[in-house]
Amino acid sequence: MLIHEQSQPGRRATAQAPLQLADCADIPAAQRRTTRALLPEVSELQVVRHYTRLSQKNFSIDTHFYPLGSCTMKYNPRACHTLASLPGFLARHPEAPDHQGQGFLACLYELQEMLKEVTGMQAVSLAPSAGAQGEFAGVAMIRAYHQARGDTARTEILVPDAAHGTNPASAVMCGFVAREIPTGPDGDVNLEALRAAVGSQTAGIMLTNPSTVGVFDRNIQEIARIVHEAGGLLYYDGANLNAILSKVRPGDMGFDVIHMNLHKTFSTPHGGGGPGAGPVGVSQRLEPFLPVPLVARDGTAYRWLSEANRPQSIGRLTAFGGNMGILLRAYVYARMLGREGMKRVSEFSTLNANYLMARLREAGFEAAYPQRRASHEFIISIKQEAKAFHVNAMDFAKRLLDYGYHAPTTYFPSLVPECLLIEPTETETKEELDGFVAALVAIREEARTNPDLVTGAPHTMPVRRLDDVRAARQLDLAWRPDGAPA
Amino acid sequence: MPFVPHTPADIAAMLGVIGVAAIDDLFDEIPAALRIGELAAIPTGMAEMDIARLMQVRARADGEPVCFIGAGAYDHHIPAVVWQIASRGEFYTAYTPYQAEASQGTLQLLYEFQSMMTALTALDVSNASLYDGASALAEAVLMAVRANRKAKSSRVLVPRALHPAYRRVLRGIVEPQGIEVVEAPFDRRGGHTPAATLDSLAGAEGFAAVVINQPNFFGVIEDADELTDAAHAQGALVIGVVNPIALALLKPPGEWGTAGADIACGEVQPLGIPLSSGGPYAGFLCCKKDLVRQMPGRIIGRTLDLDGKPGFTLTLQAREQHIRRGKATSNICTNQGLLATAATIHMAILGAEGLERVAAASHANTRQLTALLCKTAGVEPLFDRPCFHEQALHLPAPTADVLRSLAADTILGGFDLGLDYPELDPALLVCATELRTAEEMEHYAAKLAEIIASQTVPG
């Protein structure tokens, strides 16, 4: 039942609003609202009960193993939330002067410095609100760099076919054409195709390494050479930074610009779809173009640098400069890990992924790239099972929900048929991984003996499989009192 | 080992299954020349009690001054319920609801968010949030230019009386796609955007979209009806940039003029989101039904399951980057779901009447503050038109000096308008929400009087 359907005229949570309705007669009647918006009229307890119950209909990291590939669903330490929510941080207005934010700015400055070290880049801006906004900023910097040199014929951004959809979309938002490069049979970028594609029209390439197929591209130095020799720049999609933390750095691989997803690698919460944080790091030559604001330190004092201090900046991405509270959470996490903890992140996420892949292969599942090491994630293809039992990857995903596991990423990357992209993360125990293997084995057995059980899954969730076609054709996107959907 | 649960026995058993001798062997595909030893510049790890001590010291150092700044971020009461529920692990640590059956909590909540935002704006549909108000405006402009196939133009008209940071963000995001942003001046007496400027600036090309900010950055209430009709008469789509709290009192965009605004967007922050130095906030975006396929971002729909039972799911995904890639309506993926969660709980608690009381009290407080501040000679309203909950004031002394002196007394005195509008300098934009007490406002007025007196007396 919707909260709207619990509404009773005249009911209110009276403790939460001013006791009087103040006089506003000075606002002209012609500009006034004539009827109140149809918001629910409910008590405080009704609100608490309704949303608590709704929360219980969710899978989450706190309640379930959540091996959603490319999303790094690891434990979000509670201390990060508590400490970023201290009253001094929460109450500070974005336009408050810098001298009344020295504690806050110190945290952000140190985070900037740590991210430089982690990525091997020369400078970092914390401004982007999420990975896709980081990509936009990164590609905008590539554009600004070429334009500043008068090199205006570079109209293409190269994107491997396994890339996240955000990559080509970001390139297009910056006014470029996205050109696809195929992936070779071993999971690495096809170098011949890359050589054939680069030229004086190449502005840059966007790469994820380790890639979304779960392997480290061994030819990265050669890729960097090919693209740089053509006059293009290298963009690093940091979605998979968790896999290489403290092992290898994008800056050392030859990348000119990178975004990081702090909601992945630095364990800030995913919040049911955000907020994220997508800081960007750059090499020396892109440094003038970084998005504002940046934190500077003069002696022991910290201050924001904005448009006035940074004339070549690509500018501002949000009104107030970024997801500050998320940056504080990432700062707390980074300080708790320290340099030794960061190393363990990549080591144990990689150990968990390779262990899980080995166990699943032992159990007879087909790994997409069995000859390769897994990074912190890997792909299993359900192709054989689909052929033998007429159940597909989505059926396995839905049936996993009944076993108490969130599904892996399904049907991405699309170049592997019937794929499950599995990312266990470093914070899961061996027992949890063993349980997940047992569940997949059990589901395959069900597919053999009772396929309807699998194709009809899930059976234990609040709803069964939903009619997506109906959702898109008979649009019902907002509640209306007369029941007529919008 | 913080947050890593492996025992030595686990590690040995797992390496055995993989068939390698050491964890480091798992990284043997990375070229040796690229491998690094240690992140030397990262400090060593801290226990929770130690980082807690450090953060407490830093948070206390930032103090908790009395806030009279608005300028796009507002210090409203947030019921305790809002973040106690929004911080529940089931909301806080879930991700984008790709597996609908295991995400009905988030999905239903976001459907309720969409329902509430369409009720506030009087438009048909809403998405499930964007990054913030300014980036929502940029997305609204991209959407309008795509949608307005009748207009030959890719120019958009934006009031100069729109938040300066919104204008900067807008330019940065839309100009790479060949969209030209034209600014409409404001009237120096009224502080409003005269509808006549639409015609004088239209030129031969006209505009694909016209942005109306209600109230505008100065708090001045625009003549939204007249502006909407003038824009529509030119064949432009109308984008309203609105404050959701103001919508409890002011005419909603869907009812502006004869046909209503086509798109409305703005900042969700006033609905239960802490100031937090500027983020995380959230943007909202609503529109008329016929524009929904041009809308960016996640949209939740209600549908039926196999048994005919209602349920909720991500819909119209063919607009989005994970399906359409380079042809998507936007590159946005992760949005601000947790903030939309907080705002939904906030709106459910306050209801329309509660929001109206908050809006009215904030408006009345700002009126009261203005009267108190204007007792000082030379402090006077900059504009003569009616305002909502924000007031632009002329000062008889340099704004930066005044604000610095007030800050020394833990008063955040307002936003320095001269930084972005040199023609108005020295000027201040003030706001007193429902949280400001009579004592705080009187204290501010007394201090301002003292400061002005000390500044204007020679020697």
Q: What is the pLDDT of residues B29-45, one digit of tens each?
A: 999 999 998 899 999 99
Long-range CB pairs of A390-393 (<8 Å, 24+ gap) are A390/A451, A390/A455, A391/A447, A391/A451, A391/A454, A391/A455, A392/A418, A393/A418, A393/A419, A393/A420
Q: Is B175 exposed, middle or buried (0-12, 13-18, 19+ CB in 10 A)?
A: middle
Q: What is the pLDDT of residues A409-451, one digit of tens each?
A: 999 998 999 999 999 999 999 999 999 999 999 999 999 999 9
The answer, yes or no, to whether residue A485 has pLDDT greater than 60, is: no
pLDDT at A486: 57
> Which H or E element spans position B454?
helix B438-456
Contacts of B246 (CB under 8 A, 6+ apart): B214, B215, B359, B388, B389
The answer, yes or no, to whether residue B90 has pLDDT greater than 60, is: yes
Stretch 344-383 of chain B: residues touching chain A, C-beta under 8 Å: 344-345, 347-361, 363-364, 367
Contacts of A144 (CB under 8 A, 6+ apart): A289, A312, A314
Stretch 181-210 of chain A: residues touching chain B, C-beta under 8 Å: none
E-assigned strands of B100-200?
Answer: 125-126, 155-159, 180-184
Q: Could you tell me how many residues make up chain B?
A: 459
The answer, yes or no, to whether residue B121 has pLDDT greater than 70, is: yes
Q: Which residue has the tokens 């054989």?
A: A384
DSSP 8-state assignment for residue A322: S
Chain-chain contact of A165 with B34 (C-beta, under 8 angstroms)? no
For chain A, the average pLDDT equals 96
Q: What is the pLDDT of residues B352-374, one digit of tens each?
A: 999 999 999 999 999 999 999 99
The answer, yes or no, to whether residue A300 has pLDDT greater than 80, is: yes
CATH 3.40.640.10 positions along chain A are: 79-337
Q: Does A460 touch chain B (CB under 8 A)?
A: no
Please name which of B362, B428, B429, B370 lies closest in space to residue B389, comparing C-alpha atoms: B362
Which of A17, A344, A406 is opposite residue B354, by nearest beta carbon? A17
For chain B, the average pLDDT equals 96
Chain-chain contact of B353 with A321 (C-beta, under 8 angstroms)? no
Q: At what angle do helices B438-456 and B399-408 cross, to 10 degrees?
A: 130
Which of B62, B104, B267 is opposite residue A89, by nearest beta carbon? B62
- Report chain B residues whose CB lies below 8 A from the CB of A429: 5-6, 10
Q: Give SS3 for A466.
A: strand
Chain-chain contact of B85 with A52 (C-beta, under 8 angstroms)? yes
Chain-chain contact of B45 with A467 (C-beta, under 8 angstroms)? no
For an interface test with B, which of A47, A61, A474 has the most B Cβ atoms less than 10 Å from its Cβ?
A: A47
Ramachandran area for residue B95 (φ above 0: left; ψ -120 to 50: alpha; else beta): beta
> How far apart (Å, rounded) are the C-alpha atoms in residues B447 and B369?
13
Which of A15, A33, A96 is opposite residue B250, by nearest beta carbon? A33
Q: Give the pLDDT band (50/70/90) at residue B297.
A: very high
- Report chain A residues whose CB lies below 8 A from the CB of B310: 463
> What sign for the dihedral angle of Cα A444, A445, A448, A452?
negative
Q: What is the pLDDT of residues B138-163, one digit of tens each?
A: 999 999 999 998 888 899 999 999 99
pLDDT at A483: 72
Contacts of B317 (CB under 8 A, 6+ apart): B323
pLDDT at B270: 98
Stretch 18-37 of chain A: residues touching chain B, C-beta under 8 Å: 18, 20-24, 26-28, 30-34, 36-37
pLDDT at B323: 85
For residue A251, the distance in angstroms to the closest alpha carbon of chain B comes to 10
How far is C-alpha B227 from the geometric centre of its chain's CA atoms? Answer: 23
CATH 3.90.1150.10 positions along chain A are: 345-470
For residue B168, the distance in angstroms to the closest alpha carbon of chain A comes to 7
> How far apart (Å, rounded) are the C-alpha atoms in residues B76 and A260?
33
Domain A79-337 maps to which CATH number in 3.40.50.20, 3.40.50.620, 3.40.50.1820, 3.40.640.10?
Answer: 3.40.640.10
> Which H or E element spans position A440?
helix A430-449
Q: Give the pLDDT band (50/70/90) at residue B459.
A: very low
Chain-chain contact of B334 with A398 (C-beta, under 8 angstroms)? no
State both tokens at A230. Answer: 């053509």
What is the architecture, at CATH level 2, of domain A345-470? Alpha-Beta Complex (3.90)
| Separate counts of helices (H) and strands (E) for chain A | 15, 13
Strands B411-412 and A378-381 turn out to be: unpaired
- Report chain B residues whose CB lies below 8 A from the CB of A262: none
For an interface test with A, which of B38, B54, B62, B192 has the most A Cβ atoms less than 10 Å from its Cβ?
A: B62
Percent of chain A whose predicted confidence (pLDDT) is above 70: 99
Q: Give the pLDDT band (50/70/90) at residue B456.
A: low
Strands B415-416 and B125-126 turn out to be: unpaired
Q: Is A34 exposed, middle or buried (0-12, 13-18, 19+ CB in 10 A)?
A: exposed
Give the global pTM. Answer: 0.98
Burial A391-429 (b: 16+ CB within 10 A, else e): bbbbbbbbbbbbbebbbbbbbbbebbebbbbbbbbbbbe
E-assigned strands of A93-183?
Answer: 123-125, 156-160, 177-181
Q: Does B15 touch chain A (CB under 8 A)?
A: yes
Section A237-264 average pLDDT = 97
For each of the domains in chain B, give its residue range(s) and CATH number, in order of start.
Answer: 67-74+351-456 (3.90.1150.10), 80-345 (3.40.640.10)
pLDDT at B63: 79
- Report chain A residues whose CB lies below 8 A from the CB of B309: 463-464
For residue A218, the distance in angstroms to the closest alpha carbon of chain B comes to 6
DSSP 8-state assignment for residue A152: T
Ramachandran area for residue B162 (φ above 0: left; ψ -120 to 50: alpha; else beta): beta
Which of B104, B176, B345 is opposite residue A462, by nearest beta carbon? B104
Section A346-355 average pLDDT = 98
Section B233-256 average pLDDT = 98
Chain-chain contact of B124 with A478 (C-beta, under 8 angstroms)? yes
Chain-chain contact of B100 with A466 (C-beta, under 8 angstroms)? yes
State both tokens at B163. Answer: 């938040």
> How far apart (Å, rounded) are the C-alpha atoms in residues A161 and A414?
8
State both tokens at B261. Answer: 């605004």
Q: Work out the number of other CB atoms within 10 angstroms of the CB of residue B2.
A: 18
Q: Give the pLDDT band (50/70/90) at residue A482.
A: confident
